[in-house]
Structure 1
Amino acid sequence: MLRIANCSGFYGDRLSAAREMVEGGPIDVLTGDWLAELTMLILAGNRLRGRPGYAPTFLKQLEEVLGTCLERGIRIVSNAGGLDPAGCAGAVTELAARLGLPARVAHVTGDDLTGHDLGGAPNADTGEPLPAPALTANAYLGGRPIAAALSAGADVVVTGRVTDAALVTGPGIWRYGWGPGDLDALAGSVVAGHVIECGCQATGGNYAFFDEVPDLAHCGFPLVELEADGSSVVTKHPGTGGLVSVGTVTAQLLYEIASPRYLGPDVVARFDTIRLEQQGPDRVRVSGVRGEAPPSTLKVAVNYLAGYRNTMTLVLTGLDVEAKARLAQEAIWARVPRESFDEVHVELTPLAGTALLRVTVMDADRRRAGRAFSSAVVETGLASYPGFYGLTPPGDASPYGVYWPTLVPAKAVRARVWLDGHELPTAPDASGDGGRERSGQAPPPPVTRPGAPEEAAPGGPWGADGDGGTVRAALGSIVGARSGDKGGNANLGVWVRTPEQFGWLEDHLTVERLAELLPCTAELNVERFELPNLLALNFVVHGLLGRGVAASPRLDAQAKALGEELRAVLTDIPRRLL
């Protein structure tokens, strides 16, 4: 068994987490995920301002635990290297020297494709060609370079852009010697990595049924006990707050995914084969995961600068909110014509007794989108709707970037591994492409669908008039949800607790019904995927976030609250399921 702990789910997570995981119980590997789609753009901005292109907070955490990790033989693996893994590794080496510690530090490069020929970089979602020069371009590498570094004796491994799950898959390959053909084991490690990559989201954080989670204020970070066949147990250190249950693990499994075929550079993990079992308090076993050979391409995260943006937010209170919103806009556009901007986005968000009117303009000209716009909004303050006040002072425009996913041939990317400043010889499949040509892999078993009631209730299978009938209730009465962003798309995963509830959910929550319950999805292309093993459905809402979080003018730019918005909607639920 290999105990792999997480101490960071994003750039800005709890600084004490590394110490908590090292001191809270036995672990073999300490991992941390610092990189998200937006983070690479943030680091690019830092680099343009002469600041590090990596995450300095990693060094703050490391200073507290490096000595203990070396003493106990705990390996450290992190993607905090961001855009400059060599620079981050150098900073770790300097830190170790300052502390008088004999740490061997490795870093992984080869992901940075900035300046390379990306073949027009067609958008992986829309097919559009890249409209501007790339500010950053980083391929998602897999776990094999990490395994190579650990096998060479590295105490600390720093990477740039690898898949989030690679932070677990790499140590698994190192410990168990999995080859490219060990697809099921690799797939199991990918699932384990996906569960813990977002830190406390696996232990009750952001959980739909949060009232079931004890002491969330002191939520413990997750760890997995990874076994040689790729199965694992998700748990946390004893005495910490939070909850590890089938529900909390299911919620995280549904976070930011698309098809049940979860593509990666090491393997395609079949999320529709996952089996979850509550083994005891705060222990969930994950097993049965099947894998397929990885695709012949690697995903590349491209960012480019797209122009300047500015947002002004006005508050509308009391009666006639929509009429007030129209009046406010008429006053604004009378001073700065709407058509003078490249893009305009208006969002009216109703709240209890009030509403927010957010007006966002985007333009290639900073002056046009800057104070010329925001001052014009302020000028309407005494000649607008009753109760006028704003939440934003007049300000200048700020630059924004666009996240642009594209694909490149995997064979065109070569991962390089460095230990103590010297390059190591790497295997031909160091970027994870060794299993792509494998044939004869047994197909995944057919998905077992949970049983529905044996006898249909009077009036229809879900009791339209007999058997208690239906009740008008919030969908969240029985349905959990978690949502997030994937570039310009949003994912919305929903799940229930019993096979009978899933039978109803599968029939009830169609794409058409979703459009009724969430009107923001009605005009968009929505895909629905079924994961009956998890009693879950996953929806991918294409284009909801426009050109991605950095460019999205939505108040909820990452679709984090989309699931809770759905759970609050009233619908007809069979009484016996409540």
Structure 2
Amino acid sequence: MGDAGTSERWQRERGSRPVRIANCSGARGDPGYQMRRQATQGPIDFITGDYLAEMNLAENAEKMAVGQHDGWEPTAWDGLEQTLDVLNEKRIKVIINGGALNPSGLARKTQALVTERGYDLKVAYVYGDDCRDEVKAELERTNKLPQHLDGENNDISLMENATALLDTKGKPIVSANVYLGARGIVKGLELGADIIICGRVADASPVIGAAWWWHNWTDKDYDQLAGTLIAGHLIECSAYATGSNFAGFDEYDINNFVDLPFGIAEVAADGTSVVTKHEGTKGLVNVDNVICQFLYELQGPIYLNSDVTANAKDLQVEQVGKNRVRLSNVKGYPPPPTTKLAIFYRGGYESQILFNATGYGTKKKYELMQKQVRFGLKEKGLEDKFQLLDFQELGTPAPNPRSQFESTTYLRVFAQTDHEATLYGLLKTFSEFAMQHYSGMHLSLDMRTAFPRSYLAFYPGLKSQDELQEGIAVLSRDGSVAQKADAGHPSAYQKLQPRENYETADPVDLASLGETVRVRLGDVVLARSGDKGANINIGLFVRKDSHYPWLKSFLTRSRMQELIGDDWRPDFFIERCEFPNLLAVHFVVYGPLGRGVSSCRLLDALGKGFADYIRDKVVDVPKSIVTDMQAIKEMRRANL
């Protein structure tokens, strides 16, 4: 049994101080010991975890249907199994979305362990996110697609195959899940739940639910909910708030980034928060890294959630202690009337093969390979049978190389088709021309990717919130449902507005900023990028107020297109906005990721490397800014 004194103290403190919420996962691979660490390394009230990327559910849906997968994420169960004793002792509550496709299954497995150990803990699960049967039936009945997430933007061209979902026979739906908010979670906590297992709730919803209940907010306390949404956005992604994926890592002792802790948010009654970590752990929580993480996977200053619309344009981020960063000045408004609907369907088949070339004449070698392949496909009548056939040149041979590795690059031939036979025809073409190859051609050792495999495609839609059937089920000790409660719907909505897109209102004449030098953009700018369906977002910022007039004048939409270089395509579109308090300029580039991560043609399917690609570009920067940044970096290195 748990410590009654601990439980009573916990109840007395509820609402009288900031709630301390520790995140234990941002992806399905995060190990169970991260949950136990958060529970044992310092005082906390809640543990939250986000185990789901957009493609997790779909990848496991077909396996679950034939009994080859439990539907929930194994690492979520691992964390609960490792941590249950501590949860009971310290009365720490847990809210995670590791239930994935089968939240009721993971809840019952957890309840069985609770009962076995004789603990007085209530286990519950949120239901209502799985809309597969409903979406499938509606699509077959009407032959009309749900409204696309980007459909209201008239400047955007949807990708060529974006409507392939209409082929309900050839490309059947595998999964369809709506992004739920925190309402079911709050209901569960009101019913006394200690462990709440969710499926596809929005990434920040567990954090919002914990703070909402702790501070006894209403669903119209929009500023408080909005501030918590941003706090949840910051800590939900594993160690990203504590040093992972940090563009400025090279300015610090690299050993500090080995075995990182995960983030904690202390959310106050007014919705402001402090992002931190347990004392005595590695990593760092500072303004630079927190801004990087804030700029990750944004659509712009308006952050949408099922419970609230947050306007973070004037967000304030300030260091208030060692490894303590305070967030404030977020405005909240009613949520949108719709929520995201993630539909995955069988897109067809894909394959890839890698051809290596060494040094001299590389461009001509790859040109010859492409001509040979296209000739062979035309002879077989297959040239126009592909959804996609890409010849991607990766790498640049080093000049005057010191090793063959330095001199070697590769050609990635990536293909997608409706039928396996087309890809076998491509493989046969490769084999027929194998001994007619360019000078020095060699292959990667693993040829398995050259054979067809099925792939899943993504359609991001919208669903009316008033149509949701969200609720919470609390289990009895034998695993049966003891109590159910409907989550209800938001009491008010705010219509979606077009996303902001503008150049700076007060540009300066770049020539007036004095002498410039040619340096890499990353020498003076930090950045973070990520995926948003078909799109890539990127936020770039400087670290001194005096540098910002240059940055916002320099980084125009046309400049971003120029920096994208040969990767730019005519059907892409760029949105731009600014975060003046963060000294940041933010862009969304529509289109580079095609139909999303699971079917993307790019190696960087998550868009995470895009920021460092842009930072690697050599540009003209005022010498004064370069000198300032050199001094800042030298000071940090001196303190290592």
Corresponding residue for 1:123?
Answer: 148
Shift of 1:332: 2.4
Contact 2:335 2:494 (8 Å CA) reproduced: no
Shift of 1:451: 10
Shift of 1:378: 4.4
Corresponding residue for 1:329?
Answer: 370
Corresponding residue for 2:419?
Answer: 365
Name the count of aligned residue pairs: 555
Corresponding residue for 1:510?
Answer: 556
1:22-41 maps to which residues of 2 (within 5 A)? 22-41=39-58
Corresponding residue for 2:38?
Answer: 21
Contact 2:107 2:197 (8 Å CA) reproduced: yes
Corresponding residue for 1:302?
Answer: 343
Partner of 2:463, secondary structure, is: strand
Corresponding residue for 1:390?
Answer: 443
Q: Which amino acid aligns with 1:296?
A: P
Task: Identify the match of residue 462 of structure 1 among 488, 499, 513.
Answer: 513
Contact 1:450 1:499 (8 Å CA) reproduced: no
| CA distance 1:451–1:528, shift in 2 (3 Å) | closer
Which whole-Å deviations, capped at 9, do the CAs of 1:411-441 have from their partners, x for residues lacking one? 0112111000234233533xxx223279xxx
| CA distance 1:189–1:413, shift in 2 (3 Å) | same
Counterpart CA distance in 2 for 1:158 and 1:208 is 34
Which whole-Å deviations, capped at 9, do the CAs of 1:96-154 have from their partners, x for residues lacking one? 33444343110001111112137631322247654244321111111121111112111
Corresponding residue for 1:376?
Answer: 429
Contact 1:307 1:362 (8 Å CA) reproduced: yes
Partner of 2:539, secondary structure, is: strand
Shift of 1:493: 1.4
Shift of 1:48: 3.8
| CA distance 1:101–1:331, shift in 2 (3 Å) | farther
Corresponding residue for 2:122?
Answer: 104
| CA distance 1:397–1:99, shift in 2 (3 Å) | farther
Moved more, 568-577 or 288-297: 288-297
Counterpart CA distance in 2 for 1:46 and 1:229 is 45
Corresponding residue for 1:144?
Answer: 183
1:454-493 maps to which residues of 2 (within 5 A)? 460-463=511-514, 469-493=515-539
Task: Identify the match of residue 404 of structure 1 among 459, 474, 478.
Answer: 459
* Corresponding position: 1:550 with 2:598: yes
Counterpart CA distance in 1 for 2:65 and 2:373 is 35
Q: Which amino acid aligns with 1:187?
A: A
Corresponding residue for 1:521?
Answer: 568
Task: Identify the match of residue 568 of structure 1 among 616, 628, 638.
Answer: 616
Shift of 1:508: 0.3
Which whole-Å deviations, capped at 9, do the CAs of 1:158-185 have from their partners, x for residues lacking one? 1111110101000011111111211000
Which whole-Å deviations, capped at 9, do the CAs of 1:438-478 have from their partners, x for residues lacking one? 9xxxxxxxxxx9999xxx89x84322xxxxx0010000011
Counterpart CA distance in 2 for 1:437 and 1:32 is 29
Task: Identify the match of residue 473 of structure 2 among 410, 413, 418.
Answer: 418
Which whole-Å deviations, capped at 9, do the CAs of 1:243-275 have from their partners, x for residues lacking one? 101111111111111121111111111121211
Task: Identify the match of residue 186 of structure 1 among 213, 216, 225.
Answer: 225
Corresponding residue for 1:559?
Answer: 607
Partner of 1:108, secondary structure, is: strand
Corresponding residue for 1:11?
Answer: 28
Counterpart CA distance in 2 for 1:547 and 1:211 is 34
Shift of 1:521: 3.1
Q: Which amino acid aligns with 2:147?
A: P
Q: Which amino acid aligns with 2:530?
A: G
* Corresponding position: 1:262 with 2:303: yes
Shift of 1:389: 1.3
Task: Identify the match of residue 60 of structure 1 among 78, 87, 95.
Answer: 78
| CA distance 1:375–1:11, shift in 2 (3 Å) | farther
Counterpart CA distance in 1 for 2:563 and 2:431 is 36
Q: Which amino acid aligns with 1:197?
A: E
Contact 1:10 1:36 (8 Å CA) reproduced: yes
Cα RMSD of the aligned pairs, angstroms, is 2.1
Q: Output the TM-score relative to the length of structure 1.
A: 0.92
Shift of 1:563: 0.3
Corresponding residue for 2:60?
Answer: 43
Partner of 2:133, secondary structure, is: coil
Percent of aligned pairs with the same amino acid: 36
Contact 1:5 1:21 (8 Å CA) reproduced: yes
Partner of 1:199, secondary structure, is: coil
Corresponding residue for 2:334?
Answer: 293
Moved more, 17-26 or 48-57: 48-57
Q: Which amino acid aligns with 2:512?
A: P
Shift of 1:220: 1.1
* Corresponding position: 1:356 with 2:377: no
Corresponding residue for 2:392?
Answer: 347
Task: Identify the match of residue 88 of structure 2 among 62, 67, 70.
Answer: 70
| CA distance 1:124–1:402, shift in 2 (3 Å) | same
| CA distance 1:49–1:500, shift in 2 (3 Å) | farther
Counterpart CA distance in 1 for 2:119 and 2:435 is 65
Task: Identify the match of residue 540 of structure 2 among 478, 486, 494.
Answer: 494
Counterpart CA distance in 2 for 1:573 and 1:541 is 24
Counterpart CA distance in 1 for 2:340 and 2:83 is 33
Contact 2:472 2:487 (8 Å CA) reproduced: no
Corresponding residue for 2:290?
Answer: 249
Contact 2:25 2:34 (8 Å CA) reproduced: yes
- Structure richer in helix, relative to its length: 2
Q: Which amino acid aligns with 1:531?
A: F
Contact 1:145 1:417 (8 Å CA) reproduced: yes
* Corresponding position: 1:113 with 2:131: yes
Counterpart CA distance in 2 for 1:435 and 1:31 is 27
Corresponding residue for 1:446?
Answer: none
Corresponding residue for 2:212?
Answer: 173
Moved more, 11-20 or 159-168: 11-20
Contact 2:312 2:329 (8 Å CA) reproduced: no
Shift of 1:570: 0.2
Q: Which amino acid aligns with 2:177?
A: N
Q: Which amino acid aligns with 1:554?
A: L
Contact 1:43 1:82 (8 Å CA) reproduced: no
Task: Identify the match of residue 200 of structure 2 among 133, 147, 161.
Answer: 161
Corresponding residue for 1:444?
Answer: none
Counterpart CA distance in 2 for 1:544 and 1:252 is 21
